Amino acid sequence: MKAVVCPRYGGPEVLEFRDVATPEPAAGEVRIKVMATSVTSGDSRMRAARFPPGLGLIARPFLGFRGPRQPILGTEIAGVVDAVGSGVTRYRPGDAVIAFPGGKMACHAEYRSVAETGAIAPKPQSLGYADAATLCFGGSTALHFLDVTTVPPGGRVLVVGASGAVGTALVQLAHHRGAQVTAVCSARNADLVRGLGADAVIDYTTTDYLGEPGAYDVIFETVGSVTARTALPLLRPGGRFAAIAAGLPDMLATIGAPGRGGRRVIAGPAKEIPAYIQQLADLAVRGVLCPVVDRTYAFGDIAAAHAYVDTGRKRGSVAILLDPAAHG
Ligand SMILES: NC(=O)c1ccc[n+]([C@@H]2O[C@H](COP(=O)([O-])OP(=O)(O)OC[C@H]3O[C@@H](n4cnc5c(N)ncnc54)[C@H](OP(=O)(O)O)[C@@H]3O)[C@@H](O)[C@H]2O)c1
């Protein structure tokens, strides 16, 4: 099969199309013919070794010194089951599915095998493959940080970076859970986030939004522009600062006793919980969570998709279609 390989860290030009072995589904696994995938901020970071501040030296022994240990990037897919291993009972060839191998990656390829009990769910019929392929990265990150921060009913939350993949999912899911959502994004994305459920929108390019002490129950920070030192005073007593794009200093701030007033910092990788994928599919079927796809590229143009994601300016997600006919 064809796969996109990242043999060393660098710009989008390091990516190469190569013929690699097509995975055989092991016992309990299904093999998915990939119809669509995505290029996420995670893929862009991994390709470029652009790790959050202070984490480069710590990350390389785990992720690879000169290039990614898993050279085929890509965290999420939508496709069709084309073969099943022994003992598989939940899926059959022909089933349309979404799957989230997440940090194990290897989705920028024509086929990907996953455990039938893993992060896989039937594709919502209402979504085309490109939309469906972008549900999981932002969606599961949002679910994790919502679950670990427990926003009180009617609580006030601030979402910094509300127009990104994680931010657009957070706005929708926090609104669905009954929170009062203030979204921080630039003016060009204000209508988008209002349409997703934001009650108030602040344009970070013209307005200082860091001056209202004790205003929020939870601050979700997805850009890396606000640190714990600035964010903690903006929280109500008992509030949580979810540093989703945290560098090392905010990760260290999660250790030890809560700060004054019981305010806490929460950071680190989102847990990849298989049940989240069915939950996201259900939320999409009910129209609670709508994928926001900024651009769709053909598989052959994946380097251009990386270059666009590298700008840090995408709205929602960037999808990759492997089969140009695979819209349904
Ligand atoms: N902890 C975890 O497990 C985890 C999981 C997933 C992602 N992440 C991290 O979370 C971060 C966000 O990921 P993502 O995929 O959502 O990113 P993304 O989609 O690339 O975010 C792009 C958006 O950020 C907005 N933006 C840029 N600068 C901003 C600022 N100063 N204030 C407010 N908005 C700003 C841009 O809007 P404008 O163009 O209008 O500025 C754009 O819409 C990344 O750093 C990623 O690595 C962490």
131 HSE (CA, 13 A, CB side): 17
| Per-residue pLDDT reduced to its tens digit, 186-197 | 999 999 999 999
For residue 247, give both structure tokens: 């560098």
Residues 217, 152 contacting (CB under 8 angstroms) = yes
Dist. CA 298–CA 292, nearest whole Å: 18
Q: Whose CA is nearest to atom 44 of ligand 1?
A: 245
Rounded Cα–Cα distance for residues 245 and 51 (Å)? 10
To test the ligand 1 pocket, which listed residue (163, 171, 192) has its Cβ within 8 A of the most ligand atoms? 163
Alpha-helical regions (H) of 207-273: 228-231, 248-252
155: left (phi over 0), alpha (psi -120 to 50) or beta: beta
Taking the centre of ligand 1 as the mean of its atom positions, its distance from the CA of residue 161, in whole angstroms, is: 5
Q: Residue 244: CB within 6 Å of ligand 1?
A: yes
> 316: closest CA among 134, 151, 158, 156?
134
Q: Is 211 exposed, middle or buried (0-12, 13-18, 19+ CB in 10 A)?
A: exposed
| Distance separating alpha carbons of residues 86 and 39, to the nearest angstrom | 32
Q: Give CA–CA dist 163/188, Å, rounded.
A: 10
Predicted confidence at residue 124, as pLDDT, reads 98
Ligand 1 mean position to 138 CA, how many Å?
10
Residues 6+ apart with CB under 8 A from 93: 80, 81, 82, 83, 84
Alpha carbon nearest to ligand 1 atom 40, residue? 186
Could you tell me if the CB of 302 is within 6 A of ligand 1?
A: no
Ligand 1 pocket test target in 40, 45, 148, 185 with most atoms within 8 Å of CB? 185
d(CA 157, CA 171): 9
Q: What's the pLDDT score for residue 74?
A: 98
The string of DSSP codes covering 127-193 is S-HHHHTTSHHHHHHHHHHHHHH-PPTT-EEEEETTTBHHHHHHHHHHHHTT-EEEEEE-GGGHHHH
CA distance 195 to 178: 16
Q: Which of the listed residues 76, 105, 166 should we mutate to test ligand 1's pocket, taking the one with most ligand atoms within 8 A of CB?
A: 166
Q: Is 313 in the pocket of ligand 1 (CB under 6 A)?
A: yes
Ligand 1 centroid to Cα of residue 20, in Å, is: 32
Classified as helix, coil or strand, 102 is: helix
CA of 56 to the centre of ligand 1 (A): 19
- Whether 190 lines ligand 1, by a CB cut-off of 6 Å, is no
Virtual torsion, Cα 297, 73, 143, 118, nearest 10 deg: 110
For the Cβ of 242 lying below 6 angstroms from any atom of ligand 1, the answer is: no
* Positive or negative: CA dihedral 155, 160, 166, 168: positive
Average pLDDT per block of 10 residues along the chain, 328 residues long: 98 98 98 98 98 90 95 98 98 98 98 98 97 98 97 95 98 98 98 98 95 93 95 95 93 82 94 97 98 98 98 98 74
The two tokens of residue 315 are 């709205």
